[in-house]
Every structure is written in structure tokens, then in C-alpha cells.
Amino acid sequence: MELLNRGATRLAAVLVAATTTLAAPAARAEDPATISVGYIQWGVPRATLSIVDLPTPDRGVAGARLAIDDNNTTGKFTKQHYELVEKVVASVDEAVKAYDELAAAGVKMVVADLPADGILALADRDKDPASLIFNVSAREDSLREENCRANVVHVAPTYSMLADGLAQYLVWKKWPRWLLLTGALPQDKIWADALKRAAERFGGEIVEERVYSSTDTSARTDSGHTQVQRQIPVFTQNAPEHDFVLVADESQIFGQYIPYRTWDPRPVGGSAGLVPTEWDPSHEQWGGWQTQDRFRNMAKRGMRAIDADAWTAVRIIGEGATRARTSDPQQIRDYVLGPKMQIAAYKGEKLTIRSWNHQLRQPILLTDRGTVVSVSPQEGFLHERTELDTLGIDQPETACKF
């Protein structure tokens, strides 16, 4: 009997211990480390010739928000949590102030949708060796060359990359003679110069350049289409023999008037017609469909180039943090700028950053606004390192000195 009592006592003790263990709260898991990403959005309205292209209030930042969600999906396993700190600005001075506020809050990684002078103002303002600025909209080659800064990663492709992507396709198609139509404003000339460089680089010929001097648009008046229908044929009349019409109209004054209205029946590309871009709402290859679908479900619209660039920038930060297994900004920056950095962006191959000017290598889509017609680099354009370096300024040509 005594043995039975002892056994019962021990069993009761075990049951009490087990019950206590089950009832006690589980040991608290380690809180995830927070990685804050700043986003400075240019709030100045951008002029567009077509109502279809009017910017939305969430222009760009919608892509960053989707990337934050993607980063946090991975972060559940890596004990990392990402948050987006958004600022909207209407001038370069406001952008600098917003950047200072982000820095004061400890935000080291900042995605910037700003014009070129805004990118330079932020880069020169920043003195923190752990911080990094991601340019997602300024395409000027000068930002990667004579005005390059070591604390900037350029996600947006340059004008030269876009021009080279288009030129390669035209040469591949054996359409080597080009009539160039250029706008009258400074940004139009930058784009035109990139197209001229591409012609010289790949064996194209600019048979003539004509400048569209007017800065007035009348398409939105009731008789606008009639007026344009009369003006454009005259503007393109008596041109030398050509295979293709190139349009350099970054200012959105006349470019989209050119297709189907030229004097000679010729295909059109550049700022209208066949447009070189890093992303288009029609892109669906290499998993692009799934990304487009997720973006549309979130933003209730198609994913544009600026959205894709912002998404890519935030994903680069997430990839750096994941691969380096750290939430420390300095170590994230070191990984992002290091030789192991690669990012999958639904464009057929991993994208990498050029060490000599911090430009993201990437294929260029050629789209007619409804489908992706082709993707550059084109077959036959070879490079000793990667065919992506046939697009834009290559290392032997660079003027960048960090």
C-alpha cells in the first residue's frame, strides 16, 4: 500500500508539473529588427501629352509599398521587419528638409523620386557613411558620370541605356536610316544626344534632325486633332530617305502626335510609338504577370516604370539585409555595393550594379503601349563581361571617379 501511495504521489507531482508547464506562457520570441526605408516623392505634377499617362497620387510609392510587403514576407523568417517612411515634396529645398528629417529619425536607406538637381542636393547633403540614396526617376547620364556620387545607386536606366536598347533593335531589323525629330526644351536635347550617340555606336545614320520649335499643344481643344493632322505631315515633309522616325520629346509637347501622321509612311519610336522602357503594364514574361497581378490588386491600376523602379530599389535593400543577415545599415550598404549583390526583377536574368558608377544593369523593354515588342540587348550584340553592358556607358568610357 505504501508503494502505491508513493507512486500516486509521484504521478500527481508529474501531472502538476506538466500542467504548470502548459499553463505558463511560452518564452517570448525575439522581436524582429526594424529596417526603415525612406521614400521622397516628387509632388510636382508632371506634364503629359496623353490623358492616359497622367500621374497618379501614388506614383512610384505604390511600387515601394508592394516591395515592403514582399520584404516582410521574407522578414518573417529572418526576424526582420520593414517599414516605409513617406515624404512628399514640391521643391529641392523641401526634399533636402525631408531628407534631414529622415536622417534625424535614423533612416539610412532613402528611395528618391526627384529630378537630377534634387538627387545631387541629397547626395551632397549626406555625410553618413552608412546611408544610401536610390535614384528611381532621374535618367541623366551625367549623374552617373561627371557628377557621380558614391552614396547613390541608380535604379532608373539612363537615357543612353534606353537609346542603345532601341538602336540595337533597329539595327537588328536592318532599319539603319533614321529621321530624328527633337523638341525645343533642354531635356529633349539630352534625349536626342543619347539617340545620336546610339546611332554612332551601332551603325545607324541620322539622315536629318528637325526641331519642333513650338511649345504649345492644342490637342485638347475640339478641333485639336484636325490642327495636328495638318501640322505634322508638313513638319515631316521632304525628308531624306529614311527607314524610321526617332522622336525625342521628353517634355511631352508633340511626340505622341507623330505616329500615323508623318508625310512618309514610316514606323516611329523613342518618345512615342515603339518606346524603350524598363517596365510596362503589358510586361508578363519571367513571372512579370504575377507581379502585375499583385500590384493591380493593391493599387487598382497598372504598374508603370516608376513603380517598378521603386519596387526594385526597396527589394535591393531587402535582398542586402537578407543575404548579409543583418539589419545594420552599414553592413547592408556594404553588401548592396559589393560584388555579390544580385536582384531578381522579373526581367529574365539577375540584375547587378555596375561598380564604376553604381548604375543598375537591366534589360530594356521595347513596347508599343499594348505589348512588349522586343527586349534588348538584342541577339548578336556581345560583350566580354555581360551583354547588359552593351546598354549605356561602359567602364572604359566612364568619366565617374568616386
CA atoms within 13 A of residue 362's CA, in its CB half-sphere = 27
Q: Are strands 205-212 and 364-367 parallel, antiparallel or unpaired?
A: unpaired
The conformational region for residue 237 under phi > 0 = left, psi -120 to 50 = alpha, else beta, is beta
Indicate the burial class of 308 (C-beta count within 10 angstroms; 0-12, 13-18, 19 or more): buried
Q: How many residues are given for the chain?
A: 402
Q: Could you tell me the maximum CA-CA distance found in the chain, to the nearest angstrom?
A: 119
Which pLDDT belongs to residue 279? 98
Q: Tell me, what's the pLDDT at 224?
A: 59
Q: Please name every residue paired with 40 in a beta bridge, in sequence order, or none if there are none.
A: 87, 112
Please report the pLDDT score of residue 215 as a whole number.
Answer: 74
| All structural domains of the chain | 33-51+58-157+280-362 (3.40.50.2300), 160-277 (3.40.50.2300)
Predicted TM-score (pTM) of this structure: 0.90
User: Across-strand partners of 4?
Assistant: none
Q: What pLDDT is recorded for position 288?
A: 94
Tell me which residues of the chain have a pLDDT lower than 50: 1-28, 218-220, 222-223
- Residue-wise pLDDT for 353-363, tens only, equals 999 999 999 99
User: Would you put residue 270 in left (φ > 0), alpha (ψ -120 to 50) or beta?
Assistant: left
Closest to 330 measured CA to CA, from 105, 106, 89, 90: 106
Q: How far apart are CA 374 and CA 365, in angstroms?
A: 6
